[in-house]
Amino acid sequence: MSAAPSIFSTGNLLKNFAFTYFPVTDWRRFISPTIVFGNANLADAGTEQKVVDSIGSYGYQLNRILDALAVLIRENQDPKAPRSEKDRRMLDRLLDLADAADQAAKQAKSSS
C-alpha cells in the first residue's frame, strides 16, 4: 500500500494553486502586508504606495472619512443644528486629504 501524496508537495501546490512571484523585496509590505485575492490592479501598486507614503496609512485615511461621515450623519439627523467649528475642521481635513491623495497619485504617475 503506497502513501498518499502530501498536499504540500511542490507538484500539488503548483497544480492546485496559482502563485504570483515578484522578485522585489519591499520591506514596507513586510511590516504591513497586503494580501489580494482575485483580480487585482497590480499596475497601481506604485501609485498606492506613493499615496500611503505621502499622506498616511489606510487607517489614517479611513479615520478622516469616518470623521466626515459622522458629521454628515449628525447633520442629516438634525438639519437645523448649526455646524460646529470642530465639524467644519473634520470636513476640511477630508477635503485636504483628497487633494493630497490626488497630488500624490499624479506625482507617482508622472514619475513612472
Q: Does residue 101 sit within a domain?
A: yes
Q: Which residues contact 96 (CB under 8 A, 6 or more apart)?
A: none
**φ, ψ dihedrals at 19, nearest 5°:** -110, 145
Per-residue pLDDT tens for 70-106?
Answer: 999 999 999 999 999 999 999 999 999 999 999 998 9
Q: Does residue 5 sit within a domain?
A: no
Separation between Cα atoms, residue 53 and residue 60, nearest integer Å: 12
- Structural domain including 79 reads 10-111
Q: How many CB atoms lie within 10 A of CB 51?
A: 21
How many structural domains are present in the chain? 1
Q: Does residue 94 sit within a domain?
A: yes
Give residue for cell 522578485. Answer: 23
Separation between Cα atoms, residue 56 and residue 49, nearest integer Å: 10
Contact, 50 vs 108, CB < 8 A?
yes
Q: Does residue 22 sit within a domain?
A: yes
CA distances from 48 to 17, 44, 105 (A): 27, 6, 7
**What's the pLDDT at 93?**
96
Q: Does residue 2 sit within a domain?
A: no
What are the grid coordinates assigned to 95, written together? 477635503
Q: Does residue 106 sit within a domain?
A: yes
Torsion 67-73-78-82 (CA) sign: positive
Q: Does residue 3 sit within a domain?
A: no
Per-residue pLDDT tens for 16-55?
Answer: 555 555 555 555 555 555 555 555 566 677 888 888 888 8
**What's the pLDDT at 26?**
56
Q: Does residue 92 sit within a domain?
A: yes
Tell which residue, 112, 110, 98, has the closest CA to residue 54.
98
